[in-house]
Amino acid sequence: MNDTFLKACRGEKTDYTPIWMMRQAGRYLPEYQKVRGNVTFLELCKSPELCVEVTLQPIDILGMDAAILFSDILILMEAMGAPLDFHEGKGPIFATTIRDAKALDMLVIPDPDEATGFVMETIRLLRKELKVPLIGFAGAPFTCATYLIEGGSSKTFWETKKLMYTQPELFHALMEKITEATILYLQAQARAGAQALQLFDSWAGVLAPCDFEEFAFPYITRILASLKSYDIPLIYFANNGATLLDYSVRSGADVIGLDWRINIKDAIAKVGKKAVQGNIDPFALLLPKDKLKSRIQNLLNDARGAHGHIFNLGHGIHQFTPPAQAKLAVELVHELSAR
Ligand SMILES: Cc1c2[nH]c(c1CCC(=O)O)Cc1[nH]c(c(CCC(=O)O)c1C)Cc1[nH]c(c(CCC(=O)O)c1C)Cc1[nH]c(c(C)c1CCC(=O)O)C2
């Protein structure tokens, strides 16, 4: 059992710096494409055997030190009653949007073992196979809310901010509901065997700090507090979150995920006795070998003072990344950080 990742999360000494990559199971791998060629994305998410297969791919092929459950943050939104579809090239689409009290009333707080039993089954199956720790996850409430309110991805978040500013009670009521569902969902993942849990807040960075504090932060702290008793590392990743770092530190997370826009040394100076995860620009995987090597070396040097460092990208791996480059990065991190 390779528990380097868990040790780093706890700030313990490790033989080398562990690495995994956000969105490490996915379209950049031909092996994933092959599985995905026979099923839709949602069918894949709901088939535990196939989820196990694609979760294992980046471990077996690239040598990652942690596995992340193959699923999607929007699976829980669908289980709450929001009809979800994924369109090729367009990303997620919700047929109905949540912008008024009537739509909000239609959302339910599902029993995670019933409504998302396939996720829990995937976790149980993976734990029998894996020789590295398994990370479970959910979307942070604000990020999930943007998809429900906009009906999909957005560039401006016009509808989200309109609801937030003009109907704050309704916005908070939606956040409450997502938060309750997320707590039950992540607790079920921990019971099923997840050995760490990550909250993905992909869109936190579009909020002013004062709005983040009022509309997003209280829900994150509530979720993380509800998971403390499971005694597994909790990771909070706010994408584009350099301006929100103080909140991440106070969120209750054990590990602070960092995107690439902040120098990891500056972040470490602020997080105190917490581990950090990150934070190379995902596109830096395109660098030629010598440049990638010095880039990784510099990051490892900058992270030397960390109370635990898990090497990762600053956001998800891009779908056109050559797998050989991802593999090279894994090898370089292992080689250059060996103690
Ligand atoms: C915002 C968000 C989503 N999903 C997720 C986030 C947060 C992380 C981030 O910011 O990237 C999280 C996610 N999505 C997926 C995982 C699997 C585990 C992993 O390997 O990290 C995880 C952890 C699989 C996926 N989720 C999706 C795919 C591609 C689907 C396909 O095979 O066609 C995968 C492998 C689809 C997805 N899912 C989502 C979008 C916007 C899209 C379309 C854009 C895209 O395709 O990248 C919502």
Q: How far apart are CA 134 and CA 93, in angstroms?
A: 29
Q: What are the backbone angles phi and psi of residue 302, rounded to the nearest 5°? A: -65, -30
pLDDT in tens, 6-16: 999 999 999 99
Binding-site residues, ligand 1, Cβ < 6 A? 22-27, 36, 41, 68, 70-74, 86, 91-92, 137, 153, 200, 202, 239, 316
Q: What is the pLDDT of residue 247?
A: 98
- 17 CA distance to ligand 1 middle (Å): 25
| Residue 90, pLDDT above cutoff 90 | no
What's the CATH number where 211 sits? 3.20.20.210
pLDDT in tens, 14-72: 999 999 999 999 999 999 999 999 999 999 999 999 999 999 999 999 999 999 999 99
Domain coverage including residue 78:
4-337
Q: What is the pLDDT of residue 236?
A: 98
Q: For residue 228, how many C-alpha atoms fall within 13 Å in the half-sphere facing its CB?
A: 9
> From the alpha carbon of 54, which atom of ligand 1 is closest?
20
Catalytic residue among 28, 32, 65, 72: 72
Domains of the chain: total:
1
| Residue 88, pLDDT above cutoff 90 | no
Q: Are 330 and 24 in contact (CB under 8 A)?
A: no
Q: Tokens at residue 234, please? A: 């909790």
Is 26 labelled as part of a ligand binding site? yes
Beta bridge partners of 279: 312
